[in-house]
Amino acid sequence: MLILFLILIHNIHLVSGVSLSDQVHQTPADMCKNPNETATLRCLHTISTYNRILWYKQSQGGQLQLLGYMWGSRPTLEANVSATLDGSADENKNCTLTIEKLQQDSNAVYFCAANNGEYEAYFGAGTKLTVLGKIICIEPPKVKVFKPSTKECQNEKHKKNKKTLLCVASDFYPDHVNVSWQIDGVDVKDGIATDHSAHWNGTHYRITSRLRVLFSQWFKPGKNFTCTVDFFDGEQTVSRVGWVAGIRNPGAAAIRNKYLKTTHNAKLSYLVLIIKSSIYGLFVIILVWKLQGFSRKPEK
């Protein structure tokens, strides 16, 4: 069995972006169970000539651990692995991995991989399994989006500078979350940096994600930036969102205020000039009227 394992490992490559990976279907994507319950994971492939399915366990931050493999309808488990393999590894057949009496050390992401012993193996998307704590209850995340810092927004020398929005999802359990961003309802793929995994604080999880947007995007009033956190609550996936709206460019506002102030002062000066001119004109009229009155008086 060791020789066979070495041969299989020699041919296995974690392939990303390869079309055949889309032909390996693993379900479910998420699973939450109570201690001592049973978890059943399924794998099916549609790759002709492939007749082997391997199962792996990846604990948090750890390497892939081979649990066993199905060759046709013949299962083989590694030593000290408490699980059951059933079904078939042939094309369009279901192969199941069953783990009984789940404990905390069962928490992991489980992968299946289709292989035929000669070519590279193609992996499924994985199943994240969480064995729930005895006291902690399932709780969805609280999501809040923070605007870019004031210092970051004050730098207007280069219009191509980008601004950073921060999304914080907190107080949730378990850590089955996926974070995505939208701008005006449209999904964003570029400029996103999300924590590799959620952080445990002793009672709940917390995860952060950052979105870098263009200067021109952020300084646009009414533009909506939304952070969506999809959370698996043990039965279904629910979404929680947080958002902020773009703001007016403070530099443009300062220029506008300066313009309005200058215009206001000009109007005020013009009004004062008109008043002074009117007073001067009235004075001249009165003076002329008096002079005409003196000129009309008869001589004694």
Model pLDDT for residues 230-270, shown as the tens digit of each residue: 999 999 999 999 999 999 876 655 555 665 677 777 777 77
Dist. CA 283–CA 62, nearest whole Å: 97
Greatest mean pLDDT range, 85-94, 146-155, 215-224: 85-94
Phi/psi of residue 273, each to 5°? -65, -40
Average pLDDT, the chain: 85
Instruction: CATH number for 142-248: choose from 2.60.40.10, 3.40.190.10, 1.10.3720.10, 1.50.10.10.
Output: 2.60.40.10
Q: Tell me the residue type at 212.
A: R
Are residues 174 and 137 in contact, defined by beta-carbon separation less than 8 angstroms? no
Domain spans of the chain? 2-131, 142-248, 252-300
Q: Does residue 59 surpass a pLDDT of 80?
A: yes
Dist. CA 66–CA 201, nearest whole Å: 31
Q: What is the pLDDT of residue 294?
A: 62
Do the two domains 2-131 and 142-248 of this chain adopt the same fold?
Answer: yes
Tens digits of residue pLDDT in 71-105: 999 999 999 999 999 999 999 999 999 999 999 99
**Average pLDDT estimate for 218-223:** 92
| CATH code that applies to domain 2-131 | 2.60.40.10
